[in-house]
Amino acid sequence: MDFITVDFDKSIDRSAFDCKIHPALNAYITQQAGQDQKRNVSRTFMYVEEGTLLGYYTLANASVALDSLSKGQQKKMPRHPIPAILLSRLAVDRTAQKQGLGKRLTADFFRRVRVVARHSGVALIVVDAKDTDAASYYQNKLGFIPSNNNPLRLVLPTATLLKAV
C-alpha cells in the first residue's frame, strides 16, 4: 500500500513547524513525538517536501467503553472495552494549509487503519478533535459520531471504513 507520509525521522528539521492555531501541536512534534516513538507509546508519520516538514499525524491504540458510544453505535459491539485506533494529532504547516493536504493526510491515516485492521482487532476509529471546527469536519464530512462523554472525541466503526473501500 502506498503512503504519502514517512515514519517519524528525527533527522528531519521540525523546529520551524507551525500549524498557526494550536501551539501544543507544534510543541508535540518538536519536543515529544520522538520520545513517544522511542517508548512505543505512539507512532508519528511525517509529510515532507524537499526536506521541509509540512504535516504530520500521530496514531496510538485505544480502548473505548461501550457506554461512551452513541446508542446507534452500541449495537453489534462487545460489552468489554472495545479495541480502537486513535488519531491523536493531525496538523499541517501554515505554509501548506488550505491546499488539500489535511484531506490527503486523513486519507493516508485511513490507509494505515486498513493495514492495522488486517493484523489485529480494531473495531473503532477514534479521533481527538482539537476544536469544534475540527469536530464538525469529522462529523459532517467523514461520518464520525461524537462520543457520549466528550464532544471532541469522535468515533467511526472500522466496518464503515472497510465497507467504503
Ligand X SMILES: CC(C)(COP(=O)(O)OP(=O)(O)OC[C@H]1O[C@@H](n2cnc3c(N)ncnc32)[C@H](O)[C@@H]1OP(=O)(O)O)[C@@H](O)C(=O)NCCC(=O)NCCS
Q: Is 154 in the site for ligand X (CB under 6 A)?
A: no
Q: Which residue bears the cell 464538525?
A: 136
* Stretch of 14-22, 38-46, 76-84, 116-124 lying at the interface with ligand X (CB under 6 A): 14-22
Stretch that binds ligand X, among 8-16, 18-26, 37-45, 68-76 (CB under 6 A): 18-26
Rounded Cα–Cα distance for residues 102 and 20 (Å)? 14
Query: Which grid coordinates are listed for 163?
Result: 465497507
Cell of 85: 485506533
Tell me, yes or no, if 138 is annotated catalytic: yes
Does the footprint of ligand X cover residue 123 (CB under 6 A)?
Answer: no
137 lies in the site for ligand X, by CB under 6 A: yes
Binding test (CB under 6 A) with ligand X, winner from 61, 106, 148, 160: 106
Q: How far is the CB of 19 from ligand X (least distance, A)?
A: 4
Q: Which stretch binds ligand X (CB under 6 A): 17-25, 29-37, 60-68, 156-164?
A: 17-25
How far, in Å, CA of 16 to CA of 93, rounded? Answer: 9
Please name the amino acid found at residue 3. F
Indicate the length of the chain as a whole number. Answer: 165
Residue closer to ligand X (CB basis): 7 or 131: 131
In this structure, the number of other CB atoms found within 10 A of the CB of residue 59 comes to: 19
